[in-house]
Amino acid sequence: MHVFDAELEQLAHEIVRYSLDRIRMTPPLDGPTELGLLDGAPATVTPAGIGGSTALREFDERFSRACISVDHPGYLSFVPGAPSMASVMFDLVVGASSVYGGSWLEGAGAIHLENETLRWIADIAGFGPGAGGVFVSGGTAGNLSALAAARWRHRDRHGDRGRAVFLASAEAHSSVASAARIMDAEVVTVPADDDRRLTGSAVESVVAALDPAVRERVVAVVATSGTTNLGVIDDLDGLATVAETHGWWFHVDGAYGAAALAAPELRADFAGLERADSFIVDPHKWLFAPFDCCALIYADPDLARRAHTQSAGYLDVLTDSGEWNPSDYAHHLSRRARGLPLWFSLATHGTDAYAEAVRAGVAHARTAAELIDGHDRWDLVWGPRLSIVLFERPGWDADQHQAWSDALTAAGLGLVVPTKFEGRSVLRFCVINPLSDGDVLRRILDFEVPG
């Protein structure tokens, strides 16, 4: 299997050519209408193997067509992705290099570059020189690892007071509640203000009304800098002050929105982030890297190391070395050096290009809001906030919004699925792809269900 013979060389060319063609094309969007391709699909995992060329052809002609690519310019749902060509090509190199990114012993060079990349992120967030962290698989893993470190510090300071309590707003991402469930912790929900922001004063009022026995189990305040549904940045400065006053950990989930820090003129909106104990941002969302990549940064990485380091005789050689082992900073052990595609792209294009690319998303979201405002069939419901806009067709119910969305996807124009706002169904654009420009948005808004 390991011999690099002529057949494998041929296959390598086919794979590189396929990958190049793929990143140059506008990917198809109508995956759900191609699900029939899966009916009666041949077995591909067989005792003798079907051969690399056949497997690649099957993937190209059948299975890949029953998928949606997040980098289609019309993909405007959830949080899209738009990995740069440089980052995608370097993902092949990361795979080919077989570097274990968990320990300095094995991956020092790769880890050095990942840390340089994390340093850039820490710098734009305003973190001090001692900050550091690790790239994990995604925002869900990042939030869990940060909150586990928060609970570790609480127990280290106060002993075990029972179930941890996290304070968060109802607008926080579902992964915060998921982390709490996994940790058998509780989330106390703090009402957001009229602008959907979690504020320091709202947290103070909720905490003042808590049973003192619950209050002493509060471990952390979780803020969001760019909520998933609405793009709202919480009152980070106010929340940092409350957390500091009470001695709580302050975690900021910037999985989607903190990428906007790449544009210096947007940084003021994130004032207070630099006071966090931990924060995350997902380069696979708005920093133009491929899946799966979340930057998790701690103000004091030593606390995270003590919370997360796994201990075993066979790991002592790594732990005793005193070197920087990325495995020690999150809930994981083996890891690929998944920060390298982002590093390569940053090194190739420079950070100014990132500022420009982020600005494009913000500008296109503004364009979307203007187009909706001036459109005779749509009403603007929310935004633009960061790069998110909500809109609706007056008089339409959830089924009608869904039917329009399904027809749009079937037509290969866009993926724009409904979400909920104040309990009702609305449509949502999240624009991060610089190619999702006014023309793309106008075509989508002008789309009518055939018949």
Tell me: cis bond preceding 47? Omega within 30 of 0 counts: no
| Interaction of residue 229 with ligand PLP, rule CB under 6 A | no
Which residues, in sequence order, are CB contacts of 7 under 8 Å at separation 6+? 52
| Of residues 28 and 138, the one with the C-beta less far from ligand PLP | 138
From the list 113, 124, 146, 255, which residue makes contact with ligand PLP (rule: CB under 6 A)? 255
| Of residues 171 and 328, the one with the C-beta less far from ligand PLP | 171
Q: What gap in Å lies between CA 303 and CA 61, rounded to an integer?
A: 49
Checking 398-407 for CB contacts under 8 A at 24+ apart, the result is 398/424, 398/425, 401/425, 401/426, 401/427, 403/449, 404/447, 404/449, 406/32, 407/447, 407/449, 407/450
Q: What gap in Å lies between CA 110 and CA 119, rounded to an integer?
A: 14
| Cα dihedral: 301, 352, 79, 232 (round 10) | 80
Parallel, antiparallel, or unpaired: how do β-strands 388-392 and 379-385 relate? antiparallel
Q: How far is the CB of 421 from ligand PLP (least distance, A)?
A: 16
| Interaction of residue 234 with ligand PLP, rule CB under 6 A | no
> Which class for 397: exposed (0-12), middle (13-18), buried (19 or more C-beta within 10 A)?
exposed
Nearest to 225 by CA among 193, 196, 257: 257
Q: How far is the CB of 53 from ligand PLP (least distance, A)?
A: 34
Q: How far is the CB of 294 from ligand PLP (least distance, A)?
A: 6
| Of residues 219 and 255, the one with the C-beta less far from ligand PLP | 255
Give the DSSP per-residue string, 315-345. Answer: GHHHHTTT---GGGGSS-SS---TTHHHHHH
From the list 173, 331, 364, 428, which residue makes contact with ligand PLP (rule: CB under 6 A)? 173
The identity of residue 420, as a single letter, is K
Give the DSSP per-residue string, 65-102. Answer: GGS--TTSTTB-SSS-----HHHHHHHHHHHHHT--TT
> How many binding residues for ligand PLP (CB under 6 A)?
13
Q: Dihedral sign for Cα 306, 310, 313, 314, please.
A: negative
| Interaction of residue 415 with ligand PLP, rule CB under 6 A | no
| Interaction of residue 138 with ligand PLP, rule CB under 6 A | yes
With contacts defined by CB under 6 A, name the span among 44-52, 104-112, 132-140, 189-197 that binds ligand PLP: 132-140
With contacts defined by CB under 6 A, name the span among 138-146, 162-170, 210-218, 340-348 that binds ligand PLP: 138-146
| Interaction of residue 177 with ligand PLP, rule CB under 6 A | no
With contacts defined by CB under 6 A, name the span among 1-9, 237-245, 253-261, 348-356 that binds ligand PLP: 253-261
| Interaction of residue 429 with ligand PLP, rule CB under 6 A | no
Quote the tokens at residue 244.
Answer: 């500091």
| Interaction of residue 144 with ligand PLP, rule CB under 6 A | no
| Interaction of residue 140 with ligand PLP, rule CB under 6 A | yes
From the list 228, 325, 367, 405, which residue makes contact with ligand PLP (rule: CB under 6 A)? 228
| Interaction of residue 175 with ligand PLP, rule CB under 6 A | yes
The identity of residue 417, as a single letter, is V
| Interaction of residue 79 with ligand PLP, rule CB under 6 A | yes
| Interaction of residue 224 with ligand PLP, rule CB under 6 A | yes
Q: How far is the CB of 226 from ligand PLP (least distance, A)?
A: 6
| Residues binding ligand PLP (CB under 6 A) | 79, 138-140, 173, 175, 224, 228, 253, 255-256, 282, 294
